């Protein structure tokens, strides 16, 4: 699985997912730290990466341009340790949804 982590989420999430044998990069790592949502979405589509974000604008892009998948993180603001614990808890469901071909996965 290949992921692109958006700006609102910490780089630690990229490392956390890499420890689960995922190919995961943060937008900052590929020079997209200041890019528009559309530029980030286009990059993810071109590089076959699922976008992980808290930004609702990506939901609209996923519906309008469904070339790749979206994991929409709906947790409120929280510390990195809590975010990673939630991803760990929800990881089996996320993987199952991606394998089933779901294009938008909302996690709360």
pLDDT tens sequence for the chain (108 residues):
999 999 999 999 999 999 999 999 999 999 999 999 999 999 999 999 999 999 999 999 999 998 999 999 998 888 999 999 999 999 999 999 999 999 999 999
Q: Name the 3-class secondary structure at 3.
A: strand
- Return the pLDDT at 33: 93
Q: Is the dihedral of CA 66, 107, 58, 84 positive or negative?
A: negative
Beta bridge partners of 53: 72
By residue range, what is the domain housing residue 102?
A: 2-107
What is the radius of gyration, based on Cα positions, of the chain?
13
- Return the pLDDT at 97: 97
**Positions of E strands within 1-108:** 2-5, 23-26, 50-53, 70-73, 104-107
Structural domain count, the chain: 1
DSSP 25: E
């Amino acid at each position: 699985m290949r992921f692109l982590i958006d700006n609102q989420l910490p780089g630690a999430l990229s490392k956390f997912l890499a420890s689960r044998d995922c190919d995961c990069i943060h937008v900052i790592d590929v020079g997209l730290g200041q890019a528009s949502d559309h530029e980030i979405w286009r990059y993810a589509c071109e590089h076959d990466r699922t976008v992980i974000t808290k930004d609702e604008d990506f939901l609209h892009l996923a519906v309008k341009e469904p070339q790749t998948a979206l994991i929409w993180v709906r947790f409120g603001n929280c510390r990195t340790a809590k975010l990673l614990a939630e991803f760990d808890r929800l990881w089996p469901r996320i993987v199952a949804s991606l394998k089933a071909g779901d294009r938008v996965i909302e996690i709360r």
